[in-house]
Structure 1
């Protein structure tokens, strides 16, 4: 199902190639009967690419609550996350795929691209195993950006079966999570280097 590949591209860091492919993406979504995230597509097409990229970074890279790494939400930084990564990489391997060393297997756009290579029923079932995370992510991201929240809701809507009730590692305290995850502020100026001594 090419829809998974389209949604993967739209969830990934915006670039000129993605923007150029939007007419083709619209056609694929229409042909496969999936509602297009119209406002996001228009924003990417008509907006300044640098602004779109900055917005994406603020949503997905700067906050733990908005992380596109699925196991971040389930396992946090526990050892279980490592084993889950190994298991997912093994699933990719059984289908003849390998994960690039620079990418983690639980990155949602990579997972969606993997699903695009599978028969539709199998892809929807596998997505169903992660839909609870995608739904929670859609809600969290949607509070800050309706366009990407809708995109994640569209992804969740493709899953087979209802979401399984699972306690997510990040809970409901998004601000506390993000504060704990954020890097310390860097200060420049006279004496700044000595302040930690």
Structure 2
């Protein structure tokens, strides 16, 4: 049985992994991801992860990679960059990007290869910090996550369920202190 902190950290790390680009290494580590998912105490989160893993594996490597690129890289509606979905005000987008960057820096992390609004990077951050700061990160990202979830829902993406887990974790962490 995992403690609460270990459970949310493991859950968010797994979701970050599942949202990452499916490289050869990613595919090779999917069995480890399944094993870690099976170890989650939260039955609903565990089932969500296992269902998505079943979906990915049933789809097969080539088809899943094509879906991933089409959905998360080429679509302006469903890409994984959280400040890109309401790009009507580029000044606002730049401020939000800076806010995300400052959040990484405030928690002792700096991104070299990714933009700070990239969902897998943000989830990886929350998986590696205490509950209080993780709650703050997720609270800041929540409106963007809710918008992205709505877009996923409209696109009928199985990954919608992963965002449901993230939003549930955010609600459960709300009010946590460092």
Alignment TM-score, normalising by the size of structure 1? 0.71
| Structure 1 equivalent of residue 166 of structure 2 | 155
| Structure 1 equivalent of residue 69 of structure 2 | 57
CA contact (8 A) 2:127 2:134 kept: yes
Root-mean-square deviation (Å): 2.5
CA contact (8 A) 1:15 1:49 kept: no
CA contact (8 A) 1:69 1:108 kept: yes
Q: 2:120 aligns with which of 109, 115, 123?
A: 109
Q: Deviations over 1:78-118 (max 9, x none)?
A: 11221222232122122222111x42110011110111111
Note the 1:21-170 alignment, pairs <5 A: 21-29=29-37, 30-33=39-42, 34-35=45-46, 36-76=48-88, 78-100=90-112, 102-160=113-171
Larger relative helix fraction: 2
CA contact (8 A) 2:49 2:162 kept: yes
Task: Work out the number of aligned pairs and report it.
Answer: 162
Note the 1:151-190 alignment, pairs <5 A: 151-160=162-171
CA contact (8 A) 1:39 1:147 kept: no
Q: Deviations over 1:38-69 (max 9, x none)?
A: 33201323432121111011112222111211
Structure 2: give runs of 5+ residues left out of the alignment: 1-8, 173-178
CA contact (8 A) 1:75 1:81 kept: yes
In the alignment, the residues of structure 2 paired with residue 91 and residue 127 of structure 1 have an alpha-carbon distance, to the nearest angstrom, of 11
* Counterpart secondary structure, 2:94: helix
In the alignment, the residues of structure 2 paired with residue 48 and residue 31 of structure 1 have an alpha-carbon distance, to the nearest angstrom, of 25
In the alignment, the residues of structure 2 paired with residue 93 and residue 26 of structure 1 have an alpha-carbon distance, to the nearest angstrom, of 31
Structure 1 residue 159: Cα displacement: 0.8
CA contact (8 A) 1:68 1:108 kept: yes
After the TM superposition, which of the residue ranges 6-15 and 103-112 deviates more from structure 2? 6-15
Structure 1 residue 147: Cα displacement: 1.2
Q: Deviations over 1:143-164 (max 9, x none)?
A: 3233112122222221137xxx
| Structure 1 equivalent of residue 5 of structure 2 | none
CA contact (8 A) 2:82 2:148 kept: no
CA contact (8 A) 1:143 1:149 kept: no
